[in-house]
Amino acid sequence: MKLTFHHHRGPGGTGMSIPVQDSDRRAARPEQSRRALLAGSVGNLIEWYEFGVYGYFATIVAARFFTPEGGGEVEGLVKAYASFALAFFFRPVGAALFGRLGDRIGRRPVLILVIALMTAATTLIGALPTYATAGALAPWLLTFLRVVQGLSAGGEFGGAVSVMTEFAPPGRRGLYGSWQSFTVALGLLCGAGVAALLAVFLSEAQLSSWGWRLPFLLTLPLGLGALWLRLRLDETPAFASGRAHPNAYDRPPARRLAGAIALGASRVMGWAAAGYTFLVVLPSYLQSTLHATFQQALVATVLANLGFAATIVPAGLLSDRIGRRPVMLTGAALVTVLALPLLNLLQNTGTSNAAKGVAVCAAGAVVGLMAGPGPAMLSEMFPTRVRCTGLGLAYALSNAVFSGCAGLIITETIERTGNVDIPAYYAAATCAVSALALATVRTNQKSQGS
């Protein structure tokens, strides 16, 4: 079997040699590619549906689990976001654990395992006793299940992106990888849609008492459907070939691999931070800081996610034609420049609802420019033997720090400083750093076979 090495300063200046394997170039059968795209995407949709639901119901979760009688509302919200952040900090652990398994025993068994864990943990959250029933045990039980979710979510990204990009037809890795990000938008939109329907058909008392449980319980049938799809999934040709020829591919040195992971994390930190700021934290910010109603906050979130969804797949497809760098760099630069003006529009009571709707939609759209090519960009940074581990860790580390902590950092900083512009500063600063890292991506990095 022929193995060629393209040596350059990494896909972004790391000096890492990326093996381009003939098995990776071999086109999968169309039905295999479609099945991989569906099976890889559906688990990610469920994961982000749940994380979105938790963010949308953060104020209710805070009241039911983290605010004993006499506790403050902001204190409870900070604790709820701390639990939110804790799950994200277990994602790198899950990425390392399941990524290593995915690189050793295969993508398929790992994807089956992580969707089973995510479904079980999310369903159980919907059945948990609250603080009023279980006392101090309630927040600990919730936190434990959040940890399980974090572990499984950490393994989801690396395995799913590896499957989708390794099964992608030649010249379509950006397009196929973009579906991972597109299902993020779909998951968040599904969560927002379910929350909005409940807000319409249930009273505030019913929603706070038992209605909040329904979105979590809905994960069970969704998860079982995803599990069935993954049981029918084939192993990727790239992994199968590597397993058949275990001595054909060198494992990159640990130091070089660690450098590539760090660089990958810095390239997607703006995507992670701005995405969570605009798409998940926004509802609680609008309610707690700008005193919007729950329904108004959900409408804003739906519009932001619609803008996000609209640009993801076109951005991925465009990156197959002109390269990852110009598309992602444009998104990072736009967030850096526009975050504060967009937020000021929302804060201005004289701004029309139509203008505010356009503002939140635009905020989501520019994040989509980074999210579309992002999975393929990360996949192309790592050879087959370490792809699950490498891209999974890069994504998980970035999300642990810059997504998982977004709600906690923004809420706590606004509380301490009184500065309501904090969300814009946070998104702009992280995207500025990300833009510097993205500038090191090779100008000709498009969809390859590696």
Per-position DSSP letters for 107-164, written without gaps between them: HHHHHHHHHHHHHHHHHHHTT---HHHHTTHHHHHHHHHHHHHHHHHHHHHHHHHHHH
Q: Which pLDDT band holds residue 178 (cuts at 50, 70, 90)? A: very high
CA dihedral of 8, 11, 14, 15, whole degrees rounded to 10: -20
pLDDT for the residue 450: 42
**pLDDT (average), residues 342-355:** 84
397 close to 261: Cβ distance less than 8 angstroms: yes
**pLDDT (average), residues 74-101:** 79
Q: Which pLDDT band holds residue 84 (cuts at 50, 70, 90)? A: low
274: Cα separation from own chain's centroid? 11
Structure token pair of residue 414:
């606004």
**pLDDT (average), residues 324-341:** 95
**pLDDT (average), residues 83-90:** 75
pLDDT at 251 over 80: no
5 pairs with which residues across the strands? 19
pLDDT for the residue 27: 56
pLDDT for the residue 44: 84
53 close to 216: Cβ distance less than 8 angstroms: yes
**pLDDT (average), residues 122-143:** 87
pLDDT for the residue 5: 34
pLDDT for the residue 101: 93
CATH class of 27-237+253-438: mainly alpha
Q: Give 218-281 as a 3 state SS string.
A: CHHHHHHHHHHHHHCCCCCHHHHHHHHCCCCCCCCCHHHHHHHHHHHHHHHHHHHHHHHHHHHH
What percentage of the chain carries pLDDT values higher than 70?
Answer: 85
What's the CA gap between 232 and 409, in Å, rounded? 42
Q: Which of 175, 179, 194, 195 is nearest to 43 (CA)?
A: 179
172: Cα separation from own chain's centroid? 21
Indicate the domain borders of the chain: 27-237+253-438
Three-state secondary-structure class, residue 86: helix
pLDDT for the residue 110: 93
Helix pair angle (219-231, 107-125), 10° resolution = 170
pLDDT for the residue 1: 34
Segment 259-294, tens digit of pLDDT: 999 999 999 999 999 998 888 777 677 777 777 777
Sign of CA dihedral 29, 171, 365, 402: positive
400 residue type, one letter: A
pLDDT at 23 over 50: no
Q: Which of 266, 372, 315, 387 is nearest to 20 (CA)?
A: 387
408 close to 78: Cβ distance less than 8 angstroms: yes
Measuring CA to CA, how many Å separate 442 from each of 9, 55, 312, 330? 8, 36, 21, 15
What's the CA gap between 171 and 348, in Å, rounded? 46
217 residue type, one letter: L
